[in-house]
Chains A and B, each alone.
Chain A
């Protein structure tokens, strides 16, 4: 690990002040900034040991008071960015949002969930092996313009949706799929102000700058996520398919929420797909295809086909197209049959 200076912030304004001193220029990705935040540290320290992240100043935000709350608001739910995954997953208020609780419980391990924060979780970085190992020269995400070793390499775990010729790395997180499905918003603090962003606009597809992963500036701090209350949040679930039954990232996953009419026909559907895309992935056309229909085998299958219509598989990850479809199909059928 490279040497760094450690700061402990006890207020968000102090954290912002410190980070501005070491911020990268605005057109540079926050992850290349000289000064960076550390929350749970489970992504940061891992990647600092691998020499992928190289901050020379680290700002510990864990002791900023008031950012770890889970609260009910007039509009829905507000989840503080410093709340720990384990605490949120078992919070009673999450009972009306099972897809969120499940996306958290099915992630990582009990120890990691005790440590990791919601803010850090959505900003976790890809598990692409070439990205994580700097002895590989070609990685546009780590070193812009160097190429992409995964295009023709070991790309079994890589994405089939939202890819570009510059990067096909999968966005690995689970919780983000629940957030994007439920139309969440992100509260962002910056020096002298605050802004609110649709969660769907937080992550950027790789395009020709895979190193710029989010719409956050280096001097912005995520304060909370807001999840609007809606008729579909209770009838929701997260289905995760992986190489082993637990403690593993998704090969394919689906976050599904449905609002059904009395006769079982879909009034509104919300679908997000994990493990298969470069960013948290909302499948809006598949949602539209469900409206007005009862969720039967053929209806679910058609929605799943639509969701993967634009998939661009590579040599070793073509199986993800079929796996992803079947995961979504099963998730739709299971969600429709939930007793709520």
Chain B
């Protein structure tokens, strides 16, 4: 991706799809979509161009999920759809109609108790600026769930879709190693 990543970065800057007029949509009607996010149902009327990422951030107000590249290259926007980790920046909200979405806001227990993976990231100091962290944690939860966290090498390979500009990688591996044991026990 190296060179391509640079060239798209500038365009990716901040194109979002806030509510738009019919003219701005080229006459395309708003589309109704129902998203189940962290166990709650949100009926939305969206410009068809709205990505799942923009729907979460701009329309539902869940800003935990981050926009890094907006082109599938960094993993910051990782969420779970029907339990599978996917990139919300390359998913149209309409494509997820009726499906159940889990974001970083949905991991903690009802009493606010952190998910073992969130706690492990804190315990192991697995971030610096924190921008990639929600994506890392969602990806890490899925990585363990898929059974791809058996060795350090396997963790690195199966976390390779999540870039960290601060290079917290060694501590991320350590956090996943800590959490996987607790998740197994749970």
Q: Which residues of A contact B (CB under 8 A)?
A: 1-6, 8, 38, 40-42, 45-46, 49-50, 56, 58, 60, 62, 108-112, 114-115, 127, 129, 132-133, 154, 156-157, 243, 245-249
By beta carbon, the residue of chain B nearest A87 is: B84
> Nearest 10 A-B pairs (CB), nearest first?
A109-B161, A3-B26, A6-B48, A246-B160, A247-B160, A3-B25, A114-B84, A45-B90, A1-B49, A111-B161
A38 touches B92 (CB 8 A): yes
Query: Given A45-B90, A50-B8, A60-B95, A5–B48 Cβ distance below 8 Å?
Result: yes
Given A4-B48, A132-B7, A132-B8, A243-B161 contact (CB < 8 Å) = no
A174 to B95, CA, bound (A): 26
Considering the chains assembled together, what is the distance between the CA atoms of A127 and B17 in angstroms? 26
Query: Are B86 and A109 in contact (CB-based, < 8 A)?
Result: no
Whether the Cβ atoms of B48 and A129 lie closer than 8 Å is: no
Q: CB distance B90 to A41 under 8 Å?
A: yes
Whole-angstrom distance between the alpha carbons of A157 and B2 in the complex? 11
Whether a CB of chain A sits under 8 angstroms from the CB of B133 is no
**For residue B135, which residue of chain A has the nearest CB?**
A111
Chain A neighbourhood of B72, CB < 8 A: 42, 46, 112
Q: Say which size band chain B's interface belongs to.
A: 35 or more
Q: Tell whether A4 pairs with B160 under 8 Å between CB atoms, given A112-B87, A154-B3, A157-B3.
A: no
**CB <8 Å contact, B48 and A112:** no
- B156: chain A residues at CB < 8 Å are 246
Given A6-B94, A46-B90: A110 in contact with B48 (beta carbons within 8 A): no
B residues apposed to A, CB below 8 Å: 1-4, 7-8, 11-12, 15, 17, 24-29, 31, 47-49, 51, 70-72, 75, 78, 84-87, 89-92, 94-95, 97, 139, 142-143, 146, 148, 156-158, 160-162
**Are A110 and B143 neighbours in the complex by a CB distance under 8 Å?**
yes
CB distance from A15 to the nearest CB of B (A): 14
A247/B90 in contact, CB under 8 A? no
The residue on B at minimum CB distance from A249 is: B1
Which residues on A sit within 8 Å (CB–CB) of B84? 114
Asked, given contacts A4-B28, A111-B161, A114-B86, whether A49 binds B48 with beta carbons under 8 Å apart, the answer is no
Whether A115 contacts B86 by the Cβ 8 Å rule is: yes
Q: Chain A residues with Cβ under 8 A from B90's Cβ?
A: 40-42, 45-46, 112, 115
**Chain A interface, DSSP helix/strand/loop, else mixed:** loop
Q: What's the Cα separation between A50 and B29 when bound, in Å?
A: 23
Chain B residues positioned under 8 Å from A38 (CB to CB): 92, 95
Note all chain B residues with C-beta closer than 8 A to A247.
1, 160-161
B29, B78, B86, B162: most-surrounded residue (chain A CB, <10 A): B86
Hey, which chain A residues are within 8 Å of B28, CB to CB?
3-6
Distance to closest chain B CB from A254 (angstroms) = 20
Task: Pick from A3, A8, A42, A49: contact of B94, CB below 8 A.
Answer: A8
Asked if residues B139 and A110 are in contact (CB atoms below 8 Å), the reply is yes
Provided the pairs A46-B71, A46-B90, A56-B26 are in contact, do residues A109 and B160 lie with their beta carbons within 8 angstroms? Answer: yes
Task: Take A60-B95, A248-B1 as given contacts and tell me if A110 and B15 are in contact as well, using a CB distance cutoff of 8 Å.
Answer: no
